[in-house]
C-alpha cells in the first residue's frame, strides 16, 4: 500500500502538469490570435483608400488623370478646394453656422 505522502505528491505533480498544459494552450492561443489579427490588419481595410500608385501596373496612367487633349465632362461650378487635396467624403455645409450675440458662458470651480 502506498504511503499517503506518495499519493499526495503524485496528485500534486499531476495537477501541476495539468496547469502547465493549460498555460501553454492559453499562451499558444493568444500568440496565434495575435498573429492572425496582425496579418488581418496588415492588409488594406475595406472603405479605406490605399495608395493608388502602388497598385497600378507600370504602363498604366495614374487614376483620376485625363488623357491628353480631353476636357473633364463636369459642368458644375468651380470649387475653391485645392486640386492636390484628396477627395473627401465630407461636404462643406450649405450655409455657415449662425452667430449669436450672447457671450460664451463660463464657470469657475466655486461651490
- Tens of pLDDT, residue by residue over 28-37, are 999 999 999 9
Mean pLDDT of 29-52: 81
Residue 72 has pLDDT above 70, yes or no: no
* Residue 11: count of CB within 10 angstroms of its CB: 10
Q: What confidence tens digit (pLDDT) does each residue in 99-111 have? A: 778 877 777 776 5
Is-contact 91 97, C-beta < 8 A? Answer: no
Q: First-to-last CA distance in the chain?
A: 78
pLDDT of residue 29: 97
Q: Report how far residue 76's alpha carbon sits from residue 93's, in angstroms, rounded to the nearest whole number.
A: 17
For residue 75, CA distances in Å to 61, 68, 78, 79 come to 24, 19, 9, 12
pLDDT of residue 32: 96
Average pLDDT of the residues of the chain: 75
Amino acid at each position: 500500500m502506498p504511503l499517503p505522502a506518495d499519493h499526495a505528491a503524485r496528485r500534486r505533480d499531476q495537477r501541476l502538469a495539468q496547469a502547465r498544459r493549460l498555460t501553454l494552450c492559453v499562451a499558444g492561443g493568444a500568440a496565434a490570435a495575435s498573429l492572425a489579427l496582425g496579418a488581418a490588419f496588415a492588409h488594406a481595410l475595406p472603405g479605406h483608400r490605399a495608395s493608388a500608385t502602388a497598385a497600378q501596373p507600370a504602363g498604366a496612367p495614374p487614376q483620376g488623370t485625363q488623357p491628353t487633349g480631353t476636357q473633364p465632362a463636369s459642368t458644375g461650378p468651380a470649387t475653391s478646394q485645392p486640386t492636390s487635396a484628396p477627395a473627401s467624403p465630407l461636404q462643406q455645409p450649405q450655409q455657415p453656422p449662425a452667430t449669436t450675440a450672447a457671450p460664451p458662458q463660463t464657470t469657475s470651480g466655486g461651490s
